[in-house]
Structures are given as structure tokens and as C-alpha cells.
Amino acid sequence: MAEISQAQIERAIRTTCATVLKNELYFSDLDGLAGDGDFGTSLATGFRVIDKDWDEIPKTDIGAMLLKISMLVSKHVGGSSGPIWGTGFMKAAMLTRGKTAITLQDLADMLGSAIEGIQARGGAKLGDKTLLDALIPVHETLKAHAAGDGDLGAALCESAAAADAAIDETRTLVAHRGRASQVGERSANTPDPGIVAIATILHDWCKDCGFPMEATAPELAKAIA
């Protein structure tokens, strides 16, 4: 099974920063359809700090790096997204303490632990129209490839497609958690910005790795354009 190096993870985080900053206004526009319209700005505020302070983030090992990122995200991303996304990074950090390379199985485990942490922090579950509706199918995809062919490229591309599919699969649902839950039925027929963000990040990772993917959901197509 191919190893994933710390350098690859660092590159994925830099790409994530670029994705989030590029889509700052667009993600906020999407959030404005049913939420309070600050999701893009909140996320960008945190990732802008990561981008700016990149050289000061410890790089001794993957865990130390992710732990610092977790704190920066928790501290600088506004609203409930800060602790939610920060918890995801924290859980991933806990499983990579002292490691400078990981396997696809490790990556699947990191995401699995992140999902558990996010569920515990925010109380959401599958079908509540939150970013978990993207992360959970991605986790299943990573697990399957880790147990099967171990092909990182295929795992990444299928993960991106799974997150893309989650946008349309959850579009008609009514949000039960987060700010969008407060508008009830008004949240139906709008995409969840957290799910779009996860799909966009994964698609940009694919492109960065040399596997550009076509988007199905129109919001994703716009975000990766």
C-alpha cells in the first residue's frame, strides 16, 4: 500500500486554504440561502490565519502540525464551525502523533475519528444536512479502498464524487442542526454550504494531484471553476 507523506498532507492543507479563500464569498452566499450568510467568511478567517502563519506551524510530525491547525481553526473560524472543524483536525492529530507518513488505512481512521468527534461536539447525525453527510460516505470510500486495492488516487477521486453526490442527495432535506435548522422548511431545496465546501476541497485536492474531476452539482461546478 502506498504511503502518504507529510509533504503531501502539507500540500493538501495549503490547497484547502486556497480553496476556502477563493470561495469565501460564494460559500457565504450559499449560506445566506437558509443560514445567516457568514459561513464562507467564518471559514476563510480561520484558513487565512493558517495560510499567513504557515511557516510558524510546527512541522516536526503530522500530529503536531494538525494539532496546531486544530487550535487555529477553533480559535479563528467563527460561530459553531470553529469547534466543529477544529474537532475534526484535533481527532486526526491525535492519531498521527509522531508520524511523518501514514497509510490509506490511517487516513480512513483519521476521518472516522474526526466524524465521531464532530458528532459528539455538535450532536448531528447522518441525514441532518450537515457536513457529516459528505464526510460519512467519504469515510466509507476510504475504508473500502484501504481494505481493497490500496489505490490512493482512486480513493481520492471516488471520495470527491461521493461528496459531490451528497450535495444533491441532501438538497431536498430540511436541516435539523446548525443555523439552517432555525428556518425549518426554508432550508429545503437549498444545498448545505458545509457539504459543498467538503466536496470543493476534495475536488481541488484531486485536481492538485493530477486527477481533475467533473462536478455533478451545479454549486460544486461553480466553486471549482
Partner 1 sequence: MKKFVNDPAQFVPEFMKGIALANPDLLDFNAEFQMITRKSGPDNGKVSVVQGSGSGHEPAHVMAVGPGMLTGACQGAVFAAPAVDSCYETIKACASDAGVLVLVNNYQGDRMAWDMATEMATAEGINARQFWINDDVAVEDSLYTVGRRGVAGNFFVIKACGAAAEQGKSLDEVEAIAKKVNDNVRTMGIALTSCIPPAKGTPIFELGDDEIEVGVGIHGEPGRRRDKIKPADALTEELFEAVAKDVPFNSGDRVAIMVNGLGGTPITELYVIYAKAHELAEAAGFTVVRNYVGEYCTSLEMAGASLTILRLDAELEALLDAPAETAARIL
Binding site for partner 1 (CB under 8 A): 67, 70-71, 74-75, 80, 83, 86-87, 90, 94, 97, 121
Cβ of residue 32: shortest distance to partner 1, in angstroms? 22
Torsion of Cα atoms, 215 then 136 then 118 then 183, to 10°? 60
Cβ of residue 100: shortest distance to partner 1, in angstroms? 19
When the beta carbons of 154 and 183 are compared against partner 1, the nearer one is 183
d(CA 74, CA 86): 5
Cβ of residue 74: shortest distance to partner 1, in angstroms? 4
Question: Which residues pair with residue 4 across a beta bridge?
Answer: 102
Closest CA to 108 of 69, 55, 68, 152: 152
When the beta carbons of 109 and 208 are compared against partner 1, the nearer one is 109
When the beta carbons of 40 and 122 are compared against partner 1, the nearer one is 122
Tell me, what DSSP letter sits at residue 2? -
Cβ of residue 121: shortest distance to partner 1, in angstroms? 6
When the beta carbons of 1 and 120 are compared against partner 1, the nearer one is 120
d(CA 221, CA 18): 16
